[in-house]
Amino acid sequence: MSAGTLRSTAYDDVPHTRGGVVDRTEVGALVRSAVDGDAAAWKALVEGLGPLVWSVVRAHRLSDADGHEVFQTVWFRFAQHLGRIREPDKAGAWLASTARHECLKVLKGLNRLTLTDDPQVLDRASEERTPEETLIDSEEAADRAERVRRLWQELDGLGERCRQLLRVLMASPPPSYTDVSAALGIAVGSIGPLRQRCLRRLRARMDARGAA
Amino acid sequence: MNGQDERPDGPEAFADAALEEELRQAAAVLDPVPDGLRQLALEAYALHDLDARIAELTFDSLTDALPVRGAFDAPRMLTFQAGEVTVDVEVTEDGLIGQVLPPVPARVEVLSGPKTARPVAVDALGRFTGDLPPAGPFALRLRTGGEVIVTEWLRA
């Protein structure tokens, strides 16, 4: 599990993704190529939509073991259904929706087994602090890392709805609102206003910490 | 295009976009897709099989049955359907028991990933028993007559 491990070099590896929303026509073309046997197209789908599926898993706060199984199940099923997906252009929404349903099943199974109202037992990113100081040399990078760490912590204090929405929105490349809607079961039209409210609340918390 | 392009572009909206982007970078650094999972997703391409029919999940006791009070370790009951063929499966701690209907002789394998298939014993009436409970995602592959049927991938 690499959550909590801060690799300073990764900053430079992350492409600037604003405006790089996964293009639906492109996704449709990749799905069709993969159906025809193009392994490179499949790889591009995994690279382009894997982070979305992972974000959905994370948004539902599954344990690592459950989250890994859901991720695998979603991709196994996607491969299985590949040639039968009715709207290849919407493969992102298909994956997001499948991930959501599998997550809800896990949570339902947990509830039944443990009788707990709160199956969200793990919250590793905010508690499992690895000594990033040892990994980061420059002061500037350390400052940035500190801000990232605080952002991550403040995210947890936002309330479940906001945390879930932002965790899905921050997939890379940015998911379309159709994908977000499928991932969380909320109407496309409510995503914009909710996003705005959540981001502003997060910014206010950061400001209050004097970390802005 | 999607709704993200329809946002008003005031300074607040700009700050929102910047913060969202900052979060995206944070997620990419602090919580990326684990390498092993990415690899498994790549390998999953091998599960793409246009010749097999998919038996869709039509009943799952986890979501479709009323919970039985006190019966917390009730077995998971699953029903899959492909056309006229039905596969009933019961997953318990000891393994799985299943039945192909209408009863036909079939060869049945439990798949647990792109590379793992384990045969299970089937009797002449299409009843089968596997002595290992599936851990993680699994699917059943049935060969009957000239046909291959694979159940939808599911997490046990």
Mean pLDDT of all residues in B65-77: 69
Rounded (5°) CA angle B56-B57-B60: 175
**Residue from the list B3, B47, B73 with its beta carbon closest to the beta carbon of A177:** B3
Q: Cβ contacts of residue A52 below 8 Å, gap of 6+? A: A22, A92, A95, A96, A168, A171, A175, A179, A183
pLDDT at A11 over 60: no
Domain that holds residue A105: 21-117+133-208
| Inter-chain residue contact B50 with A50, CB threshold 8 Å | no
Measured between beta carbons, the chain A residues lying within 8 angstroms of B13 are 196
pLDDT at A157 over 60: yes
Residue indicated by tokens 């969200």: A120
In sequence order, what DSSP letters do the residues of A32-69 get, joined into one string? HHHHTT-HHHHHHHHHHHHHHHHHHHHHTT--HHHHHH
Mean pLDDT of chain A: 81
For residues B80 and A109, the answer to whether their CB atoms sit within 8 Å is: no
| Inter-chain residue contact B153 with A77, CB threshold 8 Å | yes
Q: State the nearest Cα–Cα gap between B64 and chain A, in angstroms.
A: 11
pLDDT of residue A14: 36
CA separation (Å) from B87 to B91, B103, B114, B128, B149? 13, 10, 21, 10, 10
A154 lies within 8 A of chain B by CB: no
pLDDT at A70 over 90: yes
Measured between CA atoms, the residue of chain B closest to residue A57 is: B33
Query: Considering the domain boundaries, does residue A101 fall inside one?
Result: yes
| Inter-chain residue contact A112 with B25, CB threshold 8 Å | no
pLDDT of residue B50: 84
For residues B38 and A46, the answer to whether their CB atoms sit within 8 Å is: yes
Domain tally, chain A: 1
Q: Identify which of A60, A115, A121 has the alpha carbon closest to the alpha carbon of residue B73.
A: A115
Q: Identify which of B37, B111, B42, B17 has the alpha carbon closest to the alpha carbon of residue A46.
A: B42
Query: Considering the domain boundaries, does residue A166 fall inside one?
Result: yes
A93-146 pLDDT, tens digit each: 999 999 999 999 999 887 655 443 333 333 344 444 455 544 545 777 888 888
Binding-face residues of B in 43-102 toward A, CB within 8 A? 44-50, 54, 60, 62-63, 67, 72-73
Query: Considering the domain boundaries, does residue A7 fall inside one?
Result: no
pLDDT of residue A132: 56
Question: What distance in Å separates the CA atoms of residue B70 and residue A113, rounded to the nearest whole number?
Answer: 10
Question: What distance in Å separates the CA atoms of residue A168 and residue A160, rounded to the nearest whole number?
Answer: 12
Query: Considering the domain boundaries, does residue A176 fall inside one?
Result: yes
Domain spans of chain B, in order of start: 3-44, 47-155
Question: What distance in Å separates the CA atoms of residue A93 and residue A100, rounded to the nearest whole number?
Answer: 10
Superfamily (CATH H level) for B47-155: Expansin, cellulose-binding-like domain (2.60.40.760)
| Inter-chain residue contact A172 with B27, CB threshold 8 Å | yes
Which residue of A76, A84, A172 to mutate against B (max B Cβ within 10 Å)? A76
Query: Considering the domain boundaries, does residue A10 fall inside one?
Result: no
| Inter-chain residue contact A21 with B4, CB threshold 8 Å | yes
Half-sphere exposure of A7 (CA within 13 A, CB side): 12
Q: Which range among A15-24, A192-201, B120-129 shows the weakest confidence by mean pLDDT?
A: A15-24
